[in-house]
Structure 1
């Protein structure tokens, strides 16, 4: 039965959520064991934007955006609204009016496995959105879903209070109870990449920076001079 609205769920520490946003999706995804990445069909409707924050979750009925309006009330400063329809639907669930309401409450963005519209207005007002589709087709109201319960979206489970990081590369979710651990791992990964970058800048290549030569040898790779290769192929 739908219609459950959970209030005041626990959230990840705000400072941790903010710090995770500094690393970006790719680093966080790798740092937590290449996990948590939402499906590649969830894309930004803008470019050059990175956000992070605590998830407020909502499910919506196909073609009905009632529960987005309900979820707005449960959103606060630093949150990210995460919405999934209970059955696939690409209609335009969300536009500039709902964005104005969320922005006024300090919400940092929307992640939705459905359609949005008023894209030019969303970009002009600076409200970031990651969506499955863009569609001018509007929705109706009257059918209930749930708010602040675990939801399935783009191949992942997102629970209220989890940390969402989103940028041009997509969206990744970090479980609330692992947020501090993943933050530490992200720091370590960034430091490792900084060392690798300095080696690349000095002229080294990935085969040596990543110690790939033993891997190639074990896999059976062999180097053959072109002249010798021609002889081999002609024989």
Structure 2
């Protein structure tokens, strides 16, 4: 059953889609939803809180579509499809998107539940790439690069008139991000994975000589472990 809060959000969403952000005022929303303005203030405090709820409502459509993508045996291809979906949604629903992904004013912390859910979902996709032995950098850095790249593409394209937008920018940006985060174009074989681990262990062993973060005993113990790994023959 639709609540008063739901009705207000849906009315505001229609105004946002049809007439833009400036058309979403407390007065216009109260008229469209058939409620008194004090009701809106009681439920949302102010216009900013209302817009955040509206953005969350719009983003639910994106998150549902993202979940519907499912998973395949290739986590990199899955991430590429999610990237394309992200860009398509942002360009198709700019008002929802810009509210959801714009930085919050210093004096106002937004309800970022939906946005955080999107980032959490992205991180899970990156973790699958790492689990497959195909991630070049840390999960944290890769998640940040993909998120920043996707948002950057959408925001930069939205800043242009529709007839000036370059459909190839998204693919170019994805390929650049992909090169930064993906180590292998295909899942590594057992031998390749073993060689990679041994190579990294050897490099870390060499780097320990100039590191001062560990005590002598800790350095000796870690060095012993790295020697075992780098000299191990599978």
Could you tell me the TM-score, scaled by structure 1's length? 0.28
Considering fraction of residues, name the structure with more helix: 2
Considering fraction of residues, name the structure with more strand: 1
Report which of the two structures shows the higher radius of gyration computed on alpha carbons.
2
Could you tell me the TM-score, scaled by structure 2's length? 0.28
